Structure 1
Amino acid sequence: MGSKIPEARLGSGNRVAATDYENKPYGALFCASPSCSAQLSFVKRHDRKYATKTVEIAPCFRLKRNEEHSAKCKYNIGGQLNIIAKSSDSAVFSAIEKSKYEFRLHILLKALWEMSKPEIENKGKTWGSSGESDKKYSNKGKLTNYLKTLKQILQLRALCEDNKELKSLVTLNYRGKKVSWERFYFDHENLHNFVKHYKVGEYTMPLAISGHIHELRKPTNEKFPFHVVELNSPFVEPDKNGVIKKPIPQIILKNSSLLKYIDSSKEYIFFGRWKPRERKRSGRNENSKTQWVFENIEMYIDNKDHFIEC
C-alpha cells in the first residue's frame, strides 16, 4: 500500500531515479520531497498480464514499512486529501471524520443540469454531449470545483500502487447512497466485476476506469465518424463452465482534436458515465472448450476533462 515514487534521495543527498537505481542499487533511500525524510524501499520492474498482451511496469520506490511521509509531502495520500478537502467546496468533497473523506458524485449532474439548456439534461446522460452550451457551463461554479477536485483525487490514485489506500480513506456518495471506492474506480484488478455492479444497457453514475491503451481505431464509416480508444482488457481465468467474460472499455471521441492529448503507449484514467452494451457470445471452436463473453463498456466524450495521464 502506498505511493509509487519515481525518484529518491540517497544518504549523500544526491537524487536517484528508480530506473538508474535498478542498474546500480546502493545505500539507504529517502523521500526526495522537501521537508520529508521518510525511508523508502525499491520495487523492481515487473510485468502486468492483460487478456491479449503483457505490459511491463517500470520500477519505482515506495514507503518502507512502519515509515510515514511528512504531513505536507505530496506522497502522503491522507495529507493530500486533507488539503483537497480544505480547498474544495464542502458540497463536493469534505472530511466526515478523522482521516475519512466523502466525494459527492451527484454534484456533477446537478451542476450540468442547472447550468445548461434543458435539452442537455436529455442529451448529456453520457456527460460530454457536444454543443455550444457545454463550453458555457464548463467553467462555472460547482462544476469547475467538482472537476478540479475530481482531477486532484484521480491524480492521487495515479500515484498509488493499488486501490487499498484510497479505498480506506474515501467514500463516494451518489444521491445519498454510499458507494465504495472499488465500485467507483476500475482497473485491471476489478474491471471483471463491472457488469456485476452495473446493468447492461443503462448509464452508470459517474465512474472512473483506468488502463493502458490497447488500440486507437479510426472512424469506420459515415454513420460512425468517431475515433475509438480501446483499453486493454484484464486477464480473466475461465469459470467452472469454461466461460471467460472479457470487459472491453471503449472511449468514443466525439471531438477528433482530443487525439493530440492521447499517447497510445501511455496509461490513462477516464471518467464519466458509461454504458455497458449487450454481451456478445462467441461460439466454441472445435479445438477449444472455452467460450468468450464480450462485455463492451462505452463512453462518449468531447473534452479533455474526461481523462488524465497516469
Structure 2
Amino acid sequence: MAAKMWSAATMDGREVFADEVAEGSSLRCKYCGAGVCYVPPHARENRGNTYGVRGYFRLLPKSAHEEGCEFNVREQLEVIARRSLGLVQALERGQYRFRLLAIGDMRDLKVYQAQSTGGQAVNSSSVRGALFSCDPRRLLSAYLNTAKRIILLRALCGDDFILKDRLEFVFNGMSVSWHEFYYEEERFTAAYRWLGQATLPFPIALVGRVSAIETIKGRGRLLYVLKFKTSTARPYARDQTVGEVIQAAVWTSQLEWVKSLKENDEVLVFGHWRHATAHTHTRLAKRGDACFRKYLERRMAIWLHVKSQVSRIYRGNGRRTERLLRS
C-alpha cells in the first residue's frame, strides 16, 4: 500500500520534484530507497467526466516501501491511530474505524460528550478514549487534527482504492464510504447533489483551489469569505445546452484563519457543508460561447468554527504535506 509521491531521489541522492523531473530518470524513494518511476501529467475519466492529473512518482512493479517509510500507507494509518487519543479505533486485520461527529460549536460538543459518557462502550484496547477523558476543547482539537491527517493521507493516495478497505467511517451508527466523505474539485457537483439528498448530513471534506478572499461587512462586524475556484462546467442532466458549475465558499469572522492563503493555493476544508441560502444563480453565456447557452451556478458554503477546519495542501514539492502527516 503506497501513496503518491510528489518528490523522489536520484541514484546519487539528489532530491527531485514531480514538476521538474526529466522522464526516464532512474529514481528511488527518498526515505527508504525503494525503486520508483515518474508518472507524467495525464487526463483521467471519472463517471463520464475528464479531468487533468498532476505528475507524480509511484512504486515500480514488485517494489515496496519499508515499514517505517513515510509513504507506506499502512504505517501512516497506524501512526494516525496511535496519536488520535482513541478517536481512531483499531479493528481486525489492520483495519481502522473513524467516527464522524456532528459538532457545530462548543455547546453542541458539551452535549455530545455528556451523552457519550453516559452509555457508549470503550474501545477494544480497554483504554478510555478521548470521548471519555477529554474536556470539550481538547476533544475538538484531537478530532479535527485526526480528521485532517486522514484527509491529507487520502490526498496523497490519489484515489479511494488504497484506503477504502483499510479505514471506514461511521456516523450515527451508519457506515459512510470514502466516496460520500471526500470530494476533490472534479466531484464538487456530486457533493452538491449529496447535500440536497442527505436526510442526515455528516461532516465532509472538500479539496479545491483558492479563487479569492473577500471581505463583507454585515451586522456590525467584518466577515471573510474564501471562495474556491468554480468547478468546470458540466452539461445539466435535464438540458444539455445548459452548463452546471459549483461555487464553494468558506465563511469566517476570523481573518487570521485565512489571510495566509493566496490565489491558486490548494486547500482542504472539513466540516458541515450546506447549500447556500440562495443556492442557484442563473447567468447567460457570453457572446461566442460555443459550449452552453446559459449556466446554473450552484452554491454551497460552510462556516468555520475553528482554524484547523481549513488547511493548505502542499503538492508539487511535497515537503510540507509529509511534515503534516508526521506532526
Q: TM-score interval w.r.t. the shorter chain?
A: 0.7 to 0.9
Residue 270 (str. 1) matches residue 239 (str. 2)? no
* 8 Å CA contact retained: 1:200, 1:275: no
* Residue in 2 that maps onto 1:66: 62
* Residue in 2 that maps onto 1:51: none
Identity among equivalent pairs (%): 23
* Residue in 2 that maps onto 1:145: 142
* Residue in 2 that maps onto 1:29: 27
* 8 Å CA contact retained: 1:202, 1:275: no
* Residue in 2 that maps onto 1:156: 153
Q: What is the distance in 1 between the residues matched to 2:267 and 2:285?
A: 35
Q: CA deviation at 1:173?
A: 0.6
* 8 Å CA contact retained: 1:203, 1:275: no
Q: What is the distance in 2 between the residues matched to 1:112 and 1:65?
A: 51
Q: CA deviation at 1:145?
A: 2.2
Q: Secondary structure at the match of 1:193?
A: helix
Greater shift, 203-212 or 155-164, is seen at 155-164
* 8 Å CA contact retained: 2:228, 2:247: yes
Which amino acid is 2:27 matched to?
L
Q: What is the distance in 2 between the residues matched to 1:110 and 1:225?
A: 20
Q: Deviations over 1:36-69 (max 9, x none)?
A: 2221111325689xxxxxx997643222233221
Q: 1:107 to 1:221 in 2, by over 3 A?
A: closer
* Residue in 2 that maps onto 1:83: 79
Q: CA deviation at 1:222?
A: 5.3
Aligned-residue CA RMSD (Å): 3.6
Q: Deviations over 1:69-126 (max 9, x none)?
A: 1122111112211222233233x21222324321100275698635389xxxxxxxxx
* 8 Å CA contact retained: 2:144, 2:309: no
After TM superposition, list the pairs within 5 Å mapping 1:35-184 onto structure 2: 36-45=32-41, 59-90=55-86, 92-106=87-101, 113-115=108-110, 139-140=137-138, 142-184=139-181
Q: What is the distance in 2 between the residues matched to 1:108 and 1:98?
A: 31
Which amino acid is 2:91 matched to?
I
Which amino acid is 2:6 matched to?
P
After TM superposition, list the pairs within 5 Å mapping 1:197-212 onto structure 2: 197-199=194-196, 204-212=201-209
Q: 1:283 to 1:263 in 2, by over 3 A?
A: closer
Which amino acid is 2:68 matched to?
K
* 8 Å CA contact retained: 1:99, 1:169: yes
Which amino acid is 1:30 matched to?
R
Q: CA deviation at 1:138?
A: 6.5
Q: Secondary structure at the match of 2:153?
A: helix
Greater shift, 144-153 or 60-69, is seen at 60-69
Q: CA deviation at 1:232?
A: 1.7
Between Structure 1 and Structure 2, the one with more strand by share is 2
Q: What is the distance in 2 between the residues matched to 1:204 and 1:279?
A: 17
* Residue in 2 that maps onto 1:16: 16
Q: What is the distance in 1 between the residues matched to 2:297 and 2:182?
A: 20
Q: CA deviation at 1:183?
A: 0.9
Q: 1:303 to 1:238 in 2, by over 3 A?
A: same
Q: CA deviation at 1:274?
A: 1.4
> Normalised by the size of structure 1, how large is the TM-score?
0.76
Q: 1:282 to 1:97 in 2, by over 3 A?
A: same
Q: 1:286 to 1:8 in 2, by over 3 A?
A: closer
Q: Deviations over 1:244-281 (max 9, x none)?
A: 33221100121122233322231000111111135425
Residue 294 (str. 1) matches residue 290 (str. 2)? no
Greater shift, 157-166 or 193-202, is seen at 193-202
Residue in structure 2 matching 1:231, options 219, 228, 231: 228
Q: Secondary structure at the match of 1:190?
A: helix
Q: What is the distance in 2 between the residues matched to 1:10 and 1:19?
A: 15
* 8 Å CA contact retained: 1:88, 1:149: yes
Residue 258 (str. 1) matches residue 254 (str. 2)? no
Q: What is the distance in 1 between the residues matched to 2:266 and 2:286?
A: 37
* 8 Å CA contact retained: 1:254, 1:302: no
Q: What is the distance in 2 between the residues matched to 1:27 and 1:195?
A: 42
* 8 Å CA contact retained: 2:216, 2:224: yes
Q: 1:64 to 1:209 in 2, by over 3 A?
A: same
Which amino acid is 1:195 matched to?
Y
Greater shift, 1-10 or 198-207, is seen at 198-207
Q: CA deviation at 1:228?
A: 0.8
* 8 Å CA contact retained: 1:155, 1:308: no
Q: CA deviation at 1:210?
A: 0.6
Greater shift, 171-180 or 103-112, is seen at 103-112
Q: What is the distance in 1 between the residues matched to 2:250 and 2:222?
A: 13
